[in-house]
Amino acid sequence: MKRLVTWFGNRWAARGSRGVKLGKGVWVHRSARLLTVNGGKITIGAGTLIDYGALLKADGGEIMIGANAYIGPLGVFYGTGRLVIGDDSGSGPQAVVVSSAHNFDDLDVRIQEQGEVLAGATIGREVWLAAHCTVLAGVTIGDQAVLGAGAVVTKDVPSRAIVGGVPARPIGHRGEPDAEGAAIKVTPPTV
């Protein structure tokens, strides 16, 4: 059964919205969709903005978004596995983050019938996902990293790294390197 929470005019319309928790001052555009299916959960921290046409779908899994985050227009964020987005992180238009991947090894069985790997995805604090960026399941993005427009991120990204391309690769670094080098630091979100 699908759970839908959306904004109409100046009031919330919630039909079977169990599993959705919104912090103080969360703003969800009237065309955005927060869906929980099969016991999925969505938690959004205070002050976060979900822009028009965005889809957050937790199908048996969990989506946790920290405080003061921003989900850009037409973004798609799947929480079949566990998807965590840190405080003050944001995404440009049409960013996609998935937390699971389909199995497809058996040629004698349809892909839809082979199940999924629930690998999760973690995005740290103050991360920017530029327009049309895609983050695949099993990836961890360190705090203060930047993912360039159109990047397809298939591997972990160190804190403060700038990555771009298909597949994404390092193209720069924000500020001075950490004493730990290319360590991945992820600060848990405030929810």
Catalytic residues: 102
Task: Extract the tokens encoding 105.
Answer: 């090894």
Question: Which residue(s) pair with 146 in the sheet?
Answer: 128, 162
